[in-house]
Amino acid sequence: MFATPDESHRGSPDQPAGCPLPGIVAAFAPRLAEFALRPGFGAAVDQHAAQIRELLYAQGPELLPLPLDRTELSDYALGLLDALGETGRLEPVGYDYAVHRLTAICWLVREQGLLTP
């Protein structure tokens, strides 16, 4: 699988072992460059990122975004990867739901600095 949990990568001591985020970033970071060429793709990823933030309650009472929790995002990503594995979609390609969602996770990780020590 392209984004398996990586036991060897621990950006900091509080990053959980088996965190899928480094694998997702490695696999989907190149897709971020496509935003300039495919504005529709960027808009779709932005919508998926907003949905993920909402799912993880990353919004404060003033409707301002709160920082995402690395553990919660990692748990969400593991669940998504499990679901993709169950459906046999281990290598998402093109511009489908899985690509949008995984690219959104990658974007959120980079924007929030969730892999920096």
One DSSP character per residue, 3-70 reads T---SS--SSTTSPTT-SHHHHHHHHGGGGGGGTT-HHHHHHHHHHHHHHHHHTT-B-TTSPBPPPPH
Contact 116, 25 (CB under 8 A): no
Give the pLDDT score at 68. 86
What is the sign of the dihedral through the CA atoms of 2, 102, 108 and 20?
negative
Rounded average pLDDT per 10-residue block, the chain, 117 residues: 41 60 95 95 96 80 77 94 88 89 97 86
Give the pLDDT score at 8. 36
Report which of 21, 48, 8, 12 is spatially closest to residue 109, judged by C-alpha positions.
Answer: 21
pTM: 0.80
